[in-house]
Amino acid sequence: MSEKSQALPPAEFQMIDHDSLYQGLLARNPGLDPAVAEAIVTAMSQSGAAVARATVGMWSGVRAFDTQVTVFPGQGYAQGYSPVGARPDEGLFDAALEQEVETLTGRPLPAAVAPEETLRRLSPLMRARDMESWAGPVLGPSAAAEFLGIGRSTLDAWRKEGKIIALPKGKRAHVIPMAQFPDGRPMPGLDGVLAAAGGNAGVAWEWLCQPHLDFGDRPPLEALRVGAVAMVTTAARRSLG
């Protein structure tokens, strides 16, 4: 081994066999300057030592691992480490970690609860959410058509064409949020939001009514009201698509 490799500090953790790597570099690179080869191997050895020390330090609080170190007689340094349970080879010894950690125990997970029982337990904590608390004023189709001064068939056509949003209520009925008719006619751009929501009217309308960063923490519905159709459609596709 070269003079520099013998000068390595004792008890260093070495990830690389310095002498073997030095000889290997010269063998594979006949024209390599020995001083350059020595510098390369020394740098790699020092890097390996730093990694080993950091890793052993990281594991120092883990009781499930010991440090397993290879001792090279007369060299005063070691090569590598491995988890406990690795097959010991000649020249290996186990250096048990000094620091121990507290063993934490807990109760096992409870048995699964049937959906019906879950609902029974949660029912006392649940309360119905008033639709108008988030959707704003709503009317049934007939009342909405009368309020707007149009025929019920016209309102139904708008709904089927996706020009307005109708929120489901119960199994078959639906109600009409009236904020989408600022001038008595469907607000342009509702169809784009409804499409971005995959046709889910509830998702589309709730998104329109919630504050949004793109609109200064104001609802996108207000942006539609002033004609920002493209901006709202783009935001809806990004948020809901």
Asked if residue 78 is part of any domain, the answer here is yes
Q: Are 220 and 193 a contacting pair, CB within 8 Å?
A: yes
Residues 6+ apart with CB under 8 A from 167: 131, 135, 138, 174, 175, 176, 177, 201, 202, 205
Most distant CA pair in the chain, distance: 101
Domain count, the chain: 2
Residues 51 and 143 reside in one and the same domain? no
**Average pLDDT, stretch 35-60?**
67
Q: What is the DSSP letter of 67?
A: E
Residue 223 clears pLDDT 90, i.e. is over it: yes
Domain termination residue (choose one: 79, 95, 111)? 95
**Position 86 in a domain:** yes
Considering only residues 16 and 135, tell me which one the structure prediction assigns the higher pLDDT: 135
Residue-wise pLDDT for 138-188, tens only, equals: 999 999 999 999 999 999 999 999 999 999 988 888 999 999 999 999 999
- Helices 141-148 and 152-160: crossing angle, nearest 10°? 110
Return the percentage of the chain with pLDDT > 90, whole number: 40
Residue 138 and residue 91 share a domain: no
* Residues 80 and 31 occupy one common structural domain: yes
88 plus 150 within the same structural domain: no
**Do 69 and 160 have their domain in common?**
no
Q: Kindly state whether residue 110 falls inside one of the protein's structural domains.
A: no
DSSP string, 149-190: TS-HHHHHHHHHTTSS--EEETTTEEEEEGGG-TTSSPPTTH
Q: Alpha carbon of 60 to those of 92, 119, 127: distances in Å?
A: 19, 47, 52
pTM of the model as a whole: 0.49
- Whether 101 maps to a domain, the answer reads no
Q: Are residues 217 and 171 in the same domain?
A: yes
Q: Tell me the residue range of the domain where 202 lies.
A: 133-240
Whether 235 shows a pLDDT value over 60: the answer reads yes
